[in-house]
Amino acid sequence: MFRTVEVPLWALLLLVGFAAVTFASHFLFPSVRWFFRRWAERLVARLNARLVQPIEPFKLAHRMDTVNRVIHDPDVARAILDHAREKGVPEQVAFETARRYAREIVPGFSALLYFGVATRLAQWLSRSLYRIRVSGEAEAMEGIDPQATIVFVLNHRSNMDYVLVTWLVARRAALAYAVGEWARRWPLGSLIRAMGGYFVRRRDLNPLYRKVLARYVQIATENGVTQAIFPEGRLSRDGSLHAPKLGLLSYIIADHAAGATRDVVLVPVAVNYERVLEDRGLIAAQAGAVNPFRLRWWMVARYLGRHLQLRVTGRFTRFGYAAVVFGRPMSLHRFLWSGHDDPAADLGAALMRRIEEVLPVLPMALVCEALVGGARDVATIAERLSKRATALQDAGHIVHAEARDARQATLIALRMLEVRNVVALHGDRISVTSDLEPILGFYARTLPRSHGGAASNEGSTKDTWGSIRS
């Protein structure tokens, strides 16, 4: 028993390795997991004490627990049987397909990453790129039932929308976003999942996938998860508001009509920018270009290097305003109670109308509208800008401007366009670069269209720009 046994070095190392793994898995890891679990619970308790809408237990559940809850849902189980019969495959194969869909959709929320890193990074990035203006949040959120599920409904101008709104509502709740499949690439996909985002396909939308997605959205809504959705479905490629796509809204309505007890309050949010980061790619997509959004790593590196160079040398200037306005909230209980032949279509249209009602007005869009209308001197553009701003303000829109008068606001916007080589200033005269004219049209269409177009002459000719600054 006490004899010396000679073994090869590789065998000794293997035995020591197995012993170390066994010790860690049975003694060390449980203690470490317990420590971090208790720490995470204390963190969540502190966050919930300051959040208006506390983080829901459903959102904090282990990701695989939520995946199993979705795929064992009775509606999903029936969809699995239908899929197996339709495709002529064994039920187990259909079940594994549903599991794959659920793993693709369901997020794994991290409160530490969301509030400790993401919201702070979002705040820094938003403020470093834009002058942020926010209106109507207190009025919109006042009086909402604290037990209701809140769904923010936004128009989709830029991928900055995710960043901007994540930060703006961080003191109220943790948002769950519906994100397109473009963001599933590593490492972005893991980061978005940890922030509570869930992925939605635009292709291969077979009935089984739709059912898995629908049940996840419905279960999350039933459990009070605060969400943000973009009913337009994708970025606006021409700058204007578009008709809503009804997928996610129809899922929420279908479950609510089936007898959900928790009300859902939909809060319209209108977003506008003086500079959309992706504007040239969006315009190319509208023109039918092939793969207009395809980015190479060297393109990203080149852009970041240029941006860093501008910041280090002090030549970087922000991209103007990013304005967010919260509109009139809508109770889903009351909406469905009033009766509708097509609830999803009527709800989508009503929400888009409420977004347009509060769409913020920015000087860049007014200047671009005047340029599209044929104005080619500063005085004419300033006059048109003043009239249009007054008319839009009278219609209830918020007009943002830092300048003291219309002429100064016009010159600031023109210089921003000149930096991008869209226009050239020759004293008070302006020339437009012909191949960049679509950029002017893009921003002109970001204005509300229900209160007149470029030719509109509503309002007094008196320069009231100073009275409508925000």
Residue 139 lies in a domain: yes
CATH of the domain at 214: 3.40.1130.10
63 lies in a domain?
no
Q: What total of structural domains would you count in the chain?
A: 2
Average pLDDT value for residue range 266-290: 89
How much is the pLDDT for 256? 80
pLDDT at 150 over 60: yes
Q: What percent of the chain has pLDDT over 90?
A: 51
pLDDT digits (tens, 9 = 90+) for 33-54: 555 566 666 767 887 788 888 8
pLDDT at 326: 95
Residue 94 lies in a domain: no
269 shares a domain with 121: yes
Q: Are residues 345 and 390 in the same domain?
A: no
The answer to whether residues 386 and 423 belong to one domain is yes
Tokens 């317990």 -> residue: 34
Mean pLDDT over each residue of the chain, to the nearest integer: 85
469 — pLDDT class (breaks 50, 70, 90): very low
What is the reported pTM? 0.85
Spell out the residues 6+ positions from residue 373 whose beta carbon is closer than 8 angstroms to its own: 384, 454, 455
Helix axes 247-257, 207-222, angle to 10 degrees: 60
| Domain boundary pick from 357, 385, 412 | 357
Single out the residue of 362, 342, 353 nearest to residue 241, CA to CA.
353
Q: Are residues 197 and 254 in the same domain?
A: yes
Residues 427, 329 share a domain? no
Residue 382 falls inside a structural domain = yes
pLDDT (average), residues 107-117: 87
Among the listed residues 186, 67, 165, the one whose alpha carbon sits nearest the alpha carbon of residue 119: 165
User: In 3D, which of 235, 138, 225 has the Cα closest to residue 183?
Assistant: 235
Task: Identify whether residues 325 and 394 lie together within a single domain.
Answer: no
Residue 240 parent element (H or E): none
Q: What is the tens place of the pLDDT at every residue in 81-97?
A: 999 999 999 999 999 99
Are residues 125 and 255 both part of a single domain? yes
Inter-residue contact 131 to 402 (CB < 8 Å) = yes
Model pLDDT for residues 307-344, shown as the tens digit of each residue: 777 777 877 788 999 999 999 999 999 998 888 889 99
What b/e readout covers 200-227, taking b as 16+ CB neighbours within 10 angstroms? bbeeeeeebbebbbbbbbbbbbbebbbb
Expressed as residue numbers, the domain containing 390 is 363-468
In a domain, residue 185? The reply is yes
Rounded to an integer, what is the distance from CA 228 to the centroid of its chain? 7
Residues 346, 374 share a domain: no
Q: Which of 171-185, 262-276, 292-306 has the highest mean pLDDT?
A: 262-276
- Residue-level pLDDT at 34: 54
Query: How far apart are alpha carbons 388 and 406 in whole angstroms?
Result: 11
Model confidence over 196-242: pLDDT tens digits?
888 888 777 899 999 999 999 999 999 999 999 999 988 999 999 99
Of 327, 342, 357, which residue constitutes the final position of a domain? Answer: 357
Tell me, yes or no, whether 153 lies in a domain. Answer: yes
Report whether 60 contacts 111 (CB < 8 A): yes
| Residues ≥6 apart with Cβ < 8 Å to 261 | none
Confidence of residue 290 (pLDDT cuts 50, 70, 90): low
Q: Give every CB contact of residue 365 below 8 A, 6+ residues apart in sequence.
A: 272, 274, 443, 444, 446, 447
Distance CA 307, CA 301 (A): 10
Q: What is the mean pLDDT of residues 57-86?
A: 93
Return the pLDDT at 25. Answer: 64
CA distance 417 to 413: 6
Element (H, E) at 179: strand 176-180
Residue among 367, 268, 408, 378 nearest 324 (CA): 268
Better-predicted residue by pLDDT, 435 or 39: 435
Given this model, what pLDDT does residue 205 score? Answer: 83
